[in-house]
Structure 1
């Protein structure tokens, strides 16, 4: 068998693994377009996944995980370094393009560097690897570092009476981000794991039962949302193309180079980190844009379009990194 045939077979195998992802996502789009299920219902499905199903999945898996293997500090350090370089690159490009509002720059940094973990990475990793546990360290880094930086800039740039002083606004935002169900479930799983606290099997079975629904429901919700708002490809702006290209191509390449060449990450962890970096822009970008009244239309377009581009490129990334 020659190299071309091996590459073709590898691509086909990677594509086959994405069939369940595309099915859940595509059926959501189809049902919303045909108005069988109202697109507005996507919020209810998304809330179920984000607030309940994904936290249940993460709690059970983290509690049962080998934390010493889960927290590969060389791998996480490499990803953090790549993310820092990506943040600097997006911020510099935004400034060069004439953006002076710190909130607008922070929003673009979030679009180009942060990844959709709960709605996209978790189901994809479960499909590819049978577990989403490798996402957890990156999830904590994203919530506790990247998101807090964005929140700090947004809150400090927020105007209006009654909002309180900068310190109060920042403290309130930080507290809100740290008590989300995702973070609480992750922290609870770590704490009980480290303390060797016995959790009854019935609780773990219940968490597993609910957690198993996280992947299809999250992807179905994303499909419903896309089917409802439609997709204007012809109206894609240069800035959208630049942000989506950076998120889906440049950032994964940067993670591959920094983690592999500079930090010496090899094997499964290198595959994990490149695929995580290749995930689309998170839906939280749109929530942040609405909350702080900055770049709302840009955010909605980047979230949806990066999701589609990422879905198409993931088999290629999996094949390239695994080669």
Structure 2
């Protein structure tokens, strides 16, 4: 796929995202309403989309464990490198290091990767494996460190940790994915009306999620001059180094090629998740830095995606 073809496929993404920015800047739509749009996408539309697609999918083709093992290995190397860089920048608090690892390694699946994959490939099913890996491994590690470092919670460390793990695994997206897998494996027949209803709601996930992200960006503003050296290295790592690392580890270390290599590199190139800002607010760690990284990495990722698509296509 050439650069122009990639840009054409990303045009709807830019339209939904850009309209959100424009309407928020002109105060036509309040920027604060981005939370309502984001909640709709995260809690309802995206789970509907994932459930319907997973239920209809060929699970044998969807669960490419070698591919996710390669991605997990690349993420593990990225975690070690990010932790070392955070330490080099003078971060000594374990919660601060965990937050920076989340910013540099985790990807925005629900609000960014899902709509982009729908526009590019007509399907976001490959994201499911990475979503589960993030929720069941990366997020749990970050949550564990954050919870154990809090002093305002009652109960022992074990109780606080169990509560955090339960909450993360009970999110609508994880429930929808698991329900789709179980019903698929059990060959439970669902009426066409039910599936069409899920598809109708799920089709709105892409534009609404991108519109919400645009509203957030338009309301917050993008101050390039105020970008710190730490923000630069985190964004550069997330949008450039991590995709290159994913390509090298998956392709040369695990022999992954074809569509799956393309999927994994593009997923790695997605921006920092909005959950970073939510975590920072909840645990009162690096709030301003987190907000800036979420917004700026989203813009950088959107610009670089066509280039990543072109590069991967000519490198395999």
1:39 maps to: 31
Displacement of 1:97 in angstroms is 2.0
- Using the size of structure 2 for normalisation, the TM-score is 0.98
1:141 maps to: 133
Displacement of 1:96 in angstroms is 2.0
1-structure distance, mates of 2:194, 2:246: 37
Displacement of 1:164 in angstroms is 1.8
1-structure distance, mates of 2:251, 2:62: 18
Cα RMSD of the aligned pairs, angstroms, is: 0.8
Alignment partner of 1:129 is 2:115: no
Displacement of 1:264 in angstroms is 0.5
For residue 223 of structure 2, give the secondary structure of its aligned residue in structure 1: coil
2:238 maps to: 247
1-structure distance, mates of 2:154, 2:213: 33
2-structure distance, mates of 1:322, 1:131: 19
Alignment partner of 1:98 is 2:97: no
For residue 2 of structure 2, give the secondary structure of its aligned residue in structure 1: helix
Displacement of 1:163 in angstroms is 2.6
Give runs of aligned pairs for residues 168-207 of structure 1, distance below 5 A.
168-207=159-198
Q: Gaps (5+ residues) in structure 2?
A: none
Displacement of 1:98 in angstroms is 1.9
Displacement of 1:166 in angstroms is 0.7
**What is the aligned counterpart of 1:84 among 66, 76, 81?**
76
**What is the aligned counterpart of 2:254 among 263, 273, 295?**
263
Displacement of 1:229 in angstroms is 1.0
- Using the size of structure 1 for normalisation, the TM-score is 0.96
Deviations 1:166-212 (A, max 9, x none): 11111100000000000000000001011111111111100000000
2-structure distance, mates of 1:199, 1:289: 41
Deviations 1:132-151 (A, max 9, x none): 00000000000000000000
Any runs of at least 4 consecutive aligned residues in structure 1 with deviations exceeding 2 A, and if so which?
none
Q: Gaps (5+ residues) in structure 1?
A: 1-8
Alignment partner of 1:298 is 2:289: yes
Higher mean displacement: 121-130 or 196-205: 196-205
Number of residues paired by the alignment?
A: 314
2:155 maps to: 164
1:73 maps to: 65
